[in-house]
Structure 1
């Protein structure tokens, strides 16, 4: 590997040169000279206002402090007093090749949030390292964060070469160390340049003090960065910022993050799945009115039909819609003062949408210093990087960061403070599981289970009249409701007042009664509910037919109360009437009852308090229908 180049990127195209300013972030350990380098660069390219340097020199003289080029960027009074960069500063300059916006990001670890903010909007980075101190903790952390944020064009400036006597061997040592680290995380620096920002050596002119270095200057290295393809080449993504009623129109407002659209296009709004055609477009800012718009433009559009659209939804084309998931795998940088833990709940902000999410798992924590990994951790400390799994009760419209960074970055918020930021690495897409290829999104059983915190199921309580089925079902329904579970009692008497009012009690009618009840119960279970179906259902074959509709969702519970106990209770007086001959074909007396041969649970109610039977059934439901600890979704406080 030579001193002149580590990569040989293609020269920027003319189209790229003429485009909007190229964004570059400057990062590095505190006091390694980032702001000094930027200030010198701005001075030597003529970007500073006339008299700016002289004014700063006068300020320094009045305060009895030496002039620093860093003061050009350190605009805050607190920064001048403390000698550190607190906030990100942005300033424009131009080389002979193209315009730039250069972002000077804080180096101190207390201000990593601001550094990430600056780097997130950059297309390339310049990492500054002190030749005296060499590669430090923050140097490695910043390098890893650049990788995490998806920046792949990084140049390195080894600064303060004047303090090591412009020593070639010292430069080689620092270069070898930083290159080895960056390559280990998948970043290959385009250039490593020895510089002295204070004197301007190798900033815009070759350094006579270092004749052994024949590579490009910092400015030439920046000009060699290749502009990213315009986001217009990516699928359409228009996060809805708001919906306004103006005159008689409903204007859907937002900024096109990627892609393009035109009047007449059919848009799909995710995650609602609703679609409509664009009837009109309105623009803000410079430019004439047009029936087309592309990435970077803020627009208002109207639709050809009045569908419900709200802030946070994402408009796209039907054939290239974003993914919909309740589960996200992400790489996260944690900034919170308190550790991130499994089970923690936060607000996830992605584009204009907000979702409550829970940390379902911490798959590994990465030490950005030595790249050591701790698998299956239960917490993530401040300024650490982790691979985590997030779960949401509501579907999240998104892309993976690799597919579309515009909809692949997010932040986590706790008590109005940003506590973490990251990129979406992979997902389990609900559309992949449930989509039919038409762009219409259905909701599958797995998604409903994640939203409810439990699986749906048909809990079929069978037993003699008076066994306690309805009493048990009603109390269990109440207990489940208090938990926040979705449960509903389906009672035989209630169905005979409506759906099954046309049926009698002959054997054929009894079978049809159970068939209809079974179909309804399974439909409700498919919708994610726990159906507590309380039916005598005396015939084993009828119950087997109900089980066959979906065997995995069917749970047969035999409320095994003996006939004499049921007759003693006789809550509706039915046994008395049957003994008197006014009710023919009464189950247990004049008609058979076929008990289950292999029920999932048998509950003996005779001689027991109702509380004991309720507890026994609830315990079974916890084992059978609750999600695992990892998958359990709580109620999110909504």
Structure 2
């Protein structure tokens, strides 16, 4: 086949175009990525600023621009000016109210760097949304309306950005066009903000006078209207700040293990995202928390083996030795490993409509680790408007407080101020799987390092063997008046006749001694069950069959006790009695007092009861007598060896 000169020319042109495109893609792929947020008071111009950045970086397609111009006319923008905020305020509710509600993420790029920007809400009730946007950001642009100066929201968002470890802050004094580009106005705002920043520990920030609407000092500085300003344009500053991943490369090596890669018997690697530092074949490493050491054999990626890997890269490490290492462990520099502990002080941002329940078990996720954690009653709540420390029994939606965190086993961590990846965590409700909180670890509690489990020669198996029985916890739950205590007592009598070693923990009896300091609030009910669970655990260690008769109204606490026991040792027995039947019985007169308002937080009346979803045993006291219920339970738990 032959080709004409024109065809050859066309092929050469196509080849050159392809080469240019390839070069452009390579250059774009190798650019560094900066994540940043915009935050501040309502109507400070956050969305407008982001829209301007997208427009000036030519990240708007022609059809988008046409739609934007049409929308700008609809919302009443004067003249032919474009309302850039409409590029970002995507929710209909946002456009109707003229505010930002959700976190809007946008991507744009310049010749030097790629960017992901989060437009975060200004309203106090959306603090959790702002925290979400800030959690992965390297920089925060704090906008201030030049006409209004430093406001409460300015202080709140600056504090949150600082709390969440954002190192680079930009004070963008916006709407300078509306104050005649007055230098004194700008200087006064910077001076006021400087005093506040020093008060909360912000060491440095960059102040820039801008107009997001007009474009002053966004891409070029100084603008003709601010010749008195001698600092960088906003884009120039964003292109030059140090990115967290780059800074993280200078710290000690840390890689949380996300997956043990074992495709065949000849390969065993540990995959994860490097949180900090660098690693190379031949480096000595330590597995935390086990403390086992080895040497890196190879660094494997999809594109082949590497001679070195750095923070921000996802890799698979193979080791020279067959060490025990699994998901949740951390591979670190051998001579400078992170700590492991099970008790911490932490700052917690509460993000759920339902308040924090001190003592309740939540899932705590930190890096690739997931454990059950309980939060103690807060030491104090932080008023982010005044920085005052307030007394608090719990944390409500959008509240921020400092509290002790206790985990079921030691976890590997570093203070959040040193490492976001090993210092930041989220809390997840065990029932709903909803993320209810986010937190930053400060330090491990000293007592966690000084208190150790003391091994004993006689084990729980020895205790059980001496009694010729298998330890069990028979957990009776149901409404007040359902018959829990009566049936539990009948079951214990039958077990006693069978020469079984038992002990009955009754709700009322325990409140005369061990739990006499607790009331009937949700927090006290949770602590009541936690203590009973710990006692029941000790009794099973002694080889006993433990019977407990407690309303225990919340599934989360019953599940918490179940998690304390060995597999198959916890038997949940639901004494299923309708509320109207229990209220008719009202042996103690409690329902009558609750209905009259004399007794507050009474289960079934003004406090909820969460019935077991899948109890091991269910007895209906409307259909069964006490003896029939007891016989049924004993037959279900046999054999007891």
TM superposition score category, shorter chain reference: 0.5 to 0.7
The one of the two structures with greater contact order (alpha-carbon pairs below 8 A, sep at least 6) is 1
Q: 2:287 aligns with which of 256, 269, 272?
A: 269
The alpha carbon displacement at 1:318 in A equals 2.9
TM-score by length of 1: 0.62
1:42 matched to 2:54? The reply is yes
Secondary structure of 1:346 counterpart: strand
Cα distance in 1, alignment partners of residues 531 and 513 from structure 2: 17
Cα distance in 1, alignment partners of residues 53 and 511 from structure 2: 71
Cα distance in 1, alignment partners of residues 326 and 512 from structure 2: 41
Distance change in 2, residues 1:81/1:52 (3 Å): same
The alpha carbon displacement at 1:332 in A equals 1.9
Cα distance in 2, alignment partners of residues 298 and 223 from structure 1: 25
**Equivalent position of 1:231 in the other structure:** 248
Distance change in 2, residues 1:163/1:243 (3 Å): same
**Equivalent position of 2:572 in the other structure:** none
Q: Is the 8 A contact 1:171 1:194 kept in 2?
A: yes
Distance change in 2, residues 1:184/1:621 (3 Å): closer
1:358 matched to 2:374? The reply is yes
Distance change in 2, residues 1:212/1:238 (3 Å): closer
TM-score by length of 2: 0.61
The alpha carbon displacement at 1:75 in A equals 4.4
**Equivalent position of 1:387 in the other structure:** 402
**Equivalent position of 1:578 in the other structure:** none
Secondary structure of 1:410 counterpart: strand
Q: Is the 8 A contact 2:366 2:421 kept in 1?
A: no
**Equivalent position of 1:289 in the other structure:** 305
1:152 matched to 2:167? The reply is yes
Q: Deviations over 1:605-625 (max 9, x none)?
A: xxxxx999xx999999999xx
**Equivalent position of 1:259 in the other structure:** 277
Q: 2:434 aligns with which of 395, 410, 417?
A: 417
Matches within 5 A, 1:623-638: 636-637=560-561, 638=563
The alpha carbon displacement at 1:357 in A equals 0.7
1:54 matched to 2:66? The reply is yes
1:94 matched to 2:99? The reply is no
The alpha carbon displacement at 1:146 in A equals 0.8
Cα distance in 2, alignment partners of residues 389 and 382 from structure 1: 19
Cα distance in 2, alignment partners of residues 53 and 256 from structure 1: 40
Secondary structure of 1:401 counterpart: coil
**Equivalent position of 2:209 in the other structure:** 194
Q: Is the 8 A contact 2:37 2:139 kept in 1?
A: yes
Tell me how many residue pairs correspond in the alignment. Answer: 456
Distance change in 2, residues 1:233/1:216 (3 Å): closer
Secondary structure of 1:106 counterpart: coil
Q: Deviations over 1:433-461 (max 9, x none)?
A: 4xxxxxxxxxx7x2438xxxxx98999xx
**Equivalent position of 1:112 in the other structure:** 127
Q: Is the 8 A contact 1:237 1:315 kept in 2?
A: yes
The alpha carbon displacement at 1:314 in A equals 1.5
The alpha carbon displacement at 1:184 in A equals 1.2
Secondary structure of 1:289 counterpart: strand
Secondary structure of 1:252 counterpart: strand
Q: Is the 8 A contact 2:253 2:276 kept in 1?
A: yes
Cα distance in 2, alignment partners of residues 163 and 231 from structure 1: 41
Cα distance in 1, alignment partners of residues 150 and 512 from structure 2: 58
1:448 matched to 2:453? The reply is yes
The alpha carbon displacement at 1:83 in A equals 3.6
Structure 2 unaligned regions, length at least 5: 1-29, 476-502, 517-526, 535-559, 564-641
Matches within 5 A, 1:464-483: none
Cα distance in 2, alignment partners of residues 62 and 178 from structure 1: 37
The alpha carbon displacement at 1:168 in A equals 4.6
**Equivalent position of 2:40 in the other structure:** 28
Cα distance in 2, alignment partners of residues 257 and 352 from structure 1: 11
